[in-house]
Amino acid sequence: MEWLKELNQQQLEAVLSTEGPLLVLAGAGSGKTRVITYRIAYILNMGLAKPGNILAITFTNKAADEMKERIKKLVGIESFSEMWISTFHSACARILRMEAHSIGFSNNFVIFDMQDRHQLLKECFEKLNIDQDRLELRYVSRQISNFKNMLISPSDTHKMGDVDPRIVEIYRLYNKLLKEYNALDFDDLIYHTITLFRTNPDILERYQQKFKYILVDEYQDTNDAQFKLIYLLAQKHRNICVVGDDDQSIYSFRGANVRNILEFENVFSDAKVIKLERNYRSTKTILSVANEVIKNNTSRKEKKLWTENNEGEKIYLYTAFDEIDEANFVSMSIKNLIQSGVKPSEIGILYRTNAQSLNFENALSSHAIPYKVVGSLRFFERKEIKDIIAYLRLVTNPHDNLSLFRIINVPKRGIGPGTVEKIKVLSDEYGISAYSLLKERGAMEFDRRTYLKLNEFIFLLEDIRAEADSKSVVEVIKLVLDKTKYMETLLSSKNEEDFQRVKNLEQLISAAAVFEEENEDKSLQNFLNSITLSFEEDEAQKEDRVLLMTIHAAKGLEFDVVFLTGLEEGLFPLLRAEDINGMKEELEEERRLCYVAITRAKKFLVLTYANNRRVFGRFSSRQRSCFLDEIPANYIQQVYTPLRKINFSDMSFNENQQSVTKDSLAVGDIIQHNRFGIGKVLSLSEDLNEVLIEFENYGQKRLLLSYANLRKIG
């Protein structure tokens, strides 16, 4: 295990301490992912456990995939499907698929996303005759989610003090409907898994036995339910390793509880604690700025990140006239940076809210800079995609009323709101699903003309279902598009938008094709499962483009250059007048968010804010963010024009302790590259600046040694 030499003292200790509870406090850029992957590789290589005995929880599916790739490289084993590397939600879905009957669901349950949840809540409001002003709906939705994240059932809500009885009523009905539709929402996945374990000790025992080693990444962002789950599972072997950084806890709105990390040592009294405080990512300046900002928070574990990296440049600050000026400054600076040799994909534009992306998109495209927006309008949330998915869901489960009502008149087939309302009322009355009602009682309850239309619809669904059995996912989708005339309707439209929709649907088909290639379980069921739980973008990720995203989405990523934008009071920190009570805590979370943003930067950090900004289309004047005042002036270089070209190669430093330098590399060496993986050195240029490498998976590449950040592995 040569690769163990790549680790520093603390990292190594974290890898080798395989037995018993372990808390790794890993500061930003301190190599925490490396610790987790190497730890798993070590456990496997030492024969301490089989792949099937390992449960590794990551925060996103993307992170899970990356982790699998890295471990694969270290260990080179094949039995990966046996190793559970996934998010909490995916892991729970996987368990529940097998055990659903034990909690009163059938194993072909569907997973409701946030849109679905809102839709269903709306139904609840209607059924209970509760005035649904929109604000209330969002509030109720959040409440219910909080309850589930704290493992509080409808009948337990009184424990939370004064809860609006209407909310309890809605909560109860909402759960009841979910069950009728055989559906689970995101929070249910965790909640029900815990219920399953609590009510079926034998099942719990089985999983406890199975998971000899449990690892949790981004532990600071776990909520009460997730903690409970881990706690239950780890009881048997107690080999539980959690990795996190309380300073990067940014998901309390989702129920994340920082106390989980702060109190780990109390819950597991024999826990070992290892701190990783050496940062390998950023310049000294950037790290100092991050430290200066975060030290204003009161409730945190004391720690001091340090680095051996260069001092680096001062950070830049630009004050824009308005948000358009801001976007232009950023775009023109990026143009110059790219001309200086910075790769577009090494540049990130970060902002607090998704709504801010638009100006940057406009400015970037007018400067012909390649970019990609991460997140925002997610593919699987588009109308046309959700429509088709609704059909697919009905194929697996005809009693999913929500999906049925979504597409009962899509494309238009003459079934209007009046008829839909009648179906709802009647199916309620008879206590059966809308589908059953139409099938069994349609002829009696509706007049002839309506009945014919309804019958045609039911027939369509059954027709699709009958054929779907013997078909692959791709074929089923095509079948739906064809039989429903969905595609036909779009194609005959002269609307520009509809043309885009056709392209999106084509993408859905290719996404399904990729799914079939990559998954062992190729069932429609599993397809539906995977698309609600992950928003895996298509392969465009590898392309060399500037990335735009929210700070939340940037967690775990790093860039040579980061533009942190919109640093204005009210926007970042984003605080609302309503919650004066939670003010301090909320501000601290915003500050952590700021800390996360700053520590994404490796070499350059550029901060911007605008004196004026159009909010909801209204022009309003702005004040600079309080976070800016927390940065000592000597770190800041105020600029008034876009950044000029720079000598970028001067900026490089060794980010990894084992990075190769000119003298240490020879022809024939085996190296590892962050992006391209493992390769062999074919030749070196005379001045030793350039190197030609044959990569296992990417073929030959000519790289500049000063950027390439190669690690020698043999």
Partner DNA sequence: CACGTCTTCCTTTTT
Partner DNA sequence: GGAAGACGTG
Q: Is 30 annotated as a binding residue?
A: yes
Piece of 10-18, 298-306, 547-555, 678-686 that binds DNA (CB under 7 A) = 547-555
Least distance to DNA, CB of residue 618, Å? 7
Contact flags string 15-54 toward DNA, x per CB under 7 A:
----------------------------------------
Q: Does 147 bind DNA (CB under 7 A)?
A: no
Report the side by side order of strands in the sheet with 546-550. Answer: 371-373, 546-550, 347-351, 559-564, 601-610, 315-320, 636-639
Q: Which of 34, 89, 545, 600 binds DNA (CB under 7 A)?
A: 89
Bridging pattern class, strands 690-695 and 699-704 = antiparallel
Angle between helices 448-468 and 383-396 (to 10 degrees): 80
CA 305/CA 26 separation, integer angstroms: 10
Piece of 23-31, 201-209, 549-557, 661-669 that binds DNA (CB under 7 A) = 549-557
221 to 250, contacts with DNA by CB under 7 A?
Answer: 250
Least distance to DNA, CB of residue 418, Å? 3
CA 96/CA 525 separation, integer angstroms: 13
Q: Which CB sits closer to DNA, 531 or 660? A: 531
The residues that bridge with 695 in the sheet, in sequence order, are 679, 699
- Closest Cα to residue 640, out of 333, 289, 313, 324? 333
Piece of 151-159, 392-400, 408-416, 457-465 that binds DNA (CB under 7 A) = 408-416
Q: Which CB sits closer to DNA, 452 or 479? A: 452
Q: Does 417 bind DNA (CB under 7 A)?
A: yes
465 is catalytic: no
Q: Does 425 bind DNA (CB under 7 A)?
A: no
Q: Does 533 bind DNA (CB under 7 A)?
A: yes
Q: Does 87 bind DNA (CB under 7 A)?
A: yes
- Closest Cα to residue 118, out of 135, 133, 137? 137
- Closest Cα to residue 274, out of 283, 284, 289, 264? 264
Q: Is 27 annotated as a binding residue?
A: yes
Q: Which CB sits closer to DNA, 114 or 491? A: 114
Q: Does 509 bind DNA (CB under 7 A)?
A: no
CA 341/CA 501 separation, integer angstroms: 37
Name the one residue in this structure whose structure tokens are 């064809």.
Answer: 482
254 to 273, contacts with DNA by CB under 7 A?
Answer: 254
Q: Is 28 annotated as a binding residue?
A: yes
298 to 357, contacts with DNA by CB under 7 A?
Answer: 352-355
Q: Does 388 bind DNA (CB under 7 A)?
A: no
248 is catalytic: yes
Q: Is 31 annotated as a binding residue?
A: yes
Q: Which residues contact 238 (CB under 8 A, 6 or more apart)?
A: 20, 21, 268
CA gyration radius, the chain: 27
Q: Is the dihedral of CA 235, 238, 239, 245 positive or negative?
A: positive
Q: Which CB sits closer to DNA, 274 or 437? A: 437
H-run or E-run covering 130:
none
Q: Is 33 annotated as a binding residue?
A: yes
Least distance to DNA, CB of residue 72, Å? 22
Give the three-state DSSP class for 509: helix
- Cβ pair 174, 140 in contact under 8 A: no
Q: Does 412 bind DNA (CB under 7 A)?
A: yes
Query: Active-site residue among 6, 10, 11, 32?
Result: 32
Looking at residue 570, its amino acid is G
CA 531/CA 116 separation, integer angstroms: 14
Q: Does 114 bind DNA (CB under 7 A)?
A: yes
Our CA angle for 389, 395, 401, nearest 5°, is 75
386 is catalytic: no
Q: Does 540 bind DNA (CB under 7 A)?
A: no
**Residues at the contact surface with DNA, assessed by CB under 7 A:** 59-61, 87-90, 113-114, 134-135, 138, 186, 250-251, 253-254, 352-355, 375, 409, 412-419, 450, 533-535, 549-550, 552-553, 574, 576, 586, 614, 616-618
Residue set of the binding site: 26-33
Residues with a catalytic annotation lie at 32-33, 217-218, 248, 600
Residue set of the binding site for ATP: 26-33
